[in-house]
Amino acid sequence: MQSEIDQKLPIGWYLKEADSLITHYTNIAFESFGINRFHWQVLKNIDKHGKISKELFYHQVNRFLTETELEEVLATLLNRNWIQHTDDLYSFTDTGKQEYAAIEALQMQNREKVMEGITTEEYLTAINFLEKMIKNLGGKI
């Protein structure tokens, strides 16, 4: 087994390449809406939780965005009247709910393309592997 591993690139390369390609693919798909992967993540979190706090959300994404970049993403969504900011929380406007529904439909198509040929079992095996690796390195899930 070690010789098979030795013939592969380091795992970090695969992780970064996959993340880079997912971001690129998602950004191209969302161009027609004038958003990117990070706008999508904000919208998805608002849909999931009803409201989000910038501070708590930033804690989830601070490896990918600076605080200034997150503020720019939020400002874009506020300026489009897709989200509103009340009592330090962000939530959908009626317009935002409608836009999210259209974007979510597109994201489902994106996910199907990304997951093509990958079984649920393979996906969960990869996630479990990465979770163990993260825990082994002292990270938290």
Phi, psi of 86 (to 5 degrees): -140, 130
Give Cα 61 to chain centroid, integer Å. Answer: 9
Domain ranges of the chain: 32-136
Q: Alpha-carbon distance 73 to 39, whole Å?
A: 6
Phi, psi of 81 (to 5 degrees): 65, 35
* Overall fold of domain 32-136: Arc Repressor Mutant, subunit A (1.10.10)
Q: What is the pTM of this model?
A: 0.83
How many whole angstroms separate alpha carbon 48 and alpha carbon 56?
14
pLDDT at site 2: 72
> How much is the pLDDT for 6?
85
What's the confidence (pLDDT) of residue 140? 83
User: Average pLDDT for residues 59-63, to the nearest whole number?
Assistant: 90
Phi-psi region for residue 85, left (φ > 0), alpha (ψ -120 to 50) or beta? beta
Determine the pLDDT at residue 1: 61
Cα 58 to Cα 70: distance, rounded to the nearest angstrom: 7
| Cross-strand partners of 89 | 53, 86
pLDDT in tens, 20-42: 999 999 999 999 999 999 999 99
* CB 52, CB 46: distance < 8 Å: yes
